[in-house]
């Protein structure tokens, strides 16, 4: 790693540590301001959000989509600013700012009971808080792909480990560890709205458009008879509201397309709780079935 990269990494970790020392309401406010003002000049991010909202929220008029996009930019900034607290403060501090919303009691009961539990945590609200909340009930096993930035990666890895979870590699060995955890009545965390590597997914509808979707979660549920929830820690003035929805029953179907349709429908259901907190900047539809056009190419 070059000295320049190392210095950049050190500077970034110092920023997170500094932000973690400031009052949470202050850093949230600073983050929202930066998000709206600073990210509005990030043409690629802004246009990706606009395109996704055009695809997924066709019932909204242009002014409504602009308002939603600007609110999304605010939440992007807020989420970044909050990471200092999520990664440096004591776990007890974070838990003090988490409170249980719809379905959280059912999730806790499942995690504390018999049988494996799959926590499907889309990129909505602050997903780092999901790790802290669930691991405080029972240590959660999750796959982790190391960052190329070794210094920052080490900082984030240590921050996630302190919550009590178990991070495993994104390879065959990691999958075996996840299966072992579920068979031992453990809890596994997955990010279900990331585009998987080619060969690790199938196409299924997401907001009415074909999205390449991970098959691993459904395969694990079949193999281990685990119960699945779609979980988000939504950002509120009080802190983080834990919302946990039992996955759409179609998720458990043996037919892959039916299972993935249920998975994506569950993510949609959670997004509707707080649309501006979802990662609309992510190019969810960048892979398309053979012959179909990339919906971002002509716009970005």
The model's pLDDT over 253-264, given as tens digits with 9 standing for 90+, comes to: 999 999 999 999
CA dihedral 255, 259, 262, 267 (to 10 degrees): -160
When pLDDT is cut at 50, 70 and 90, the band that residue 122 belongs to is: very high
**Beta strand spans in 145-206 (E):** 166-169, 187-190, 201-206
Whether the predicted model's global pTM rises above the 0.85 cut: yes
Q: How far apart are CA 77 and CA 282, in angstroms?
A: 15
Q: What is the pLDDT of residues 12-32, one digit of tens each?
A: 888 899 999 999 999 999 999
Would you say residue 6 has pLDDT above 80? Answer: no
Q: What is the pLDDT of residues 194-225, one digit of tens each?
A: 999 888 999 999 999 999 999 999 999 999 99
- Burial annotation 110-133 (CB, 10 A radius, 16+ → b, else e): bbeeeebbbbbbbbbbbbbbbbbb
Percentage of residues in the chain having pLDDT higher than 70: 95
Q: How far apart are CA 220 and CA 117, in angstroms?
A: 10
When pLDDT is cut at 50, 70 and 90, the band that residue 298 belongs to is: low
Read off the pLDDT of each residue in 219-241 and give the average, rounded to a whole number: 97
Read off the pLDDT of each residue in 116-142 and give the average, rounded to a whole number: 95
Q: What is the pLDDT of residues 34-59, one digit of tens each?
A: 999 987 788 899 999 999 999 999 99
Read off the pLDDT of each residue in 133-153 and give the average, rounded to a whole number: 84
Up-side HSE of residue 184: CA atoms within 13 Å toward CB?
Answer: 12
Read off the pLDDT of each residue in 128-138 and give the average, rounded to a whole number: 94
When pLDDT is cut at 50, 70 and 90, the band that residue 4 belongs to is: very low
Would you say residue 168 has pLDDT above 90? Answer: no
Tell me what pLDDT residue 144 has: 82
Would you say residue 5 has pLDDT above 70? Answer: no
Map residue 122 onto helix, strand or coil: coil
With tokens 């999901």, the residue in question is 130
Across the chain, mean pLDDT equals: 91
């Amino acid at each position: 790693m070059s000295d320049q990269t190392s210095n950049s990494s050190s500077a970034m970790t110092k920023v997170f540590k500094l932000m973690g020392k400031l009052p949470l309401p202050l850093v949230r406010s600073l983050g929202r301001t930066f998000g709206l003002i600073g990210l509005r000049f990030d043409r690629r991010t802004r246009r990706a959000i606009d395109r996704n909202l055009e695809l997924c929220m066709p019932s909204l008029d242009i002014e409504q989509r602009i308002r939603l996009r600007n609110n999304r930019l605010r939440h992007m900034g807020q989420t970044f600013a909050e990471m200092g607290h999520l990664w440096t403060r004591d776990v007890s501090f974070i838990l003090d700012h988490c409170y249980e919303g719809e379905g959280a009691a059912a999730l806790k009961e499942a995690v504390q009971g018999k049988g494996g539990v799959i926590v499907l945590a889309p990129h909505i609200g602050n997903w780092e808080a999901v790790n802290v909340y669930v691991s405080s009930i029972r240590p959660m096993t999750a796959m982790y792909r190391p960052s190329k930035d070794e210094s920052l990666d080490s900082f984030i890895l240590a921050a996630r480990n302190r919550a009590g979870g178990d991070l495993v590699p994104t390879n065959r060995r990691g999958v075996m560890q996840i299966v072992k955890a579920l068979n031992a009545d453990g809890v596994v965390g997955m990010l279900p709205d990331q585009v998987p590597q080619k060969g690790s997914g199938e196409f299924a509808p997401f907001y009415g458009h074909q999205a390449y979707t991970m098959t691993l979660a459904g395969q694990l549920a079949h193999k281990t008879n685990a119960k699945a929830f779609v979980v988000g820690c939504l950002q509120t003035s009080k802190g983080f509201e834990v919302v946990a929805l039992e996955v759409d029953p179609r998720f458990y179907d043996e037919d892959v397309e039916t299972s993935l349709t249920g998975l994506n429908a569950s993510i949609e259901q959670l997004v509707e709780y707080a649309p501006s907190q979802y990662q609309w900047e992510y190019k969810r539809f960048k892979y398309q079935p053979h012959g179909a056009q990339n919906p971002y190419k002509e716009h970005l």
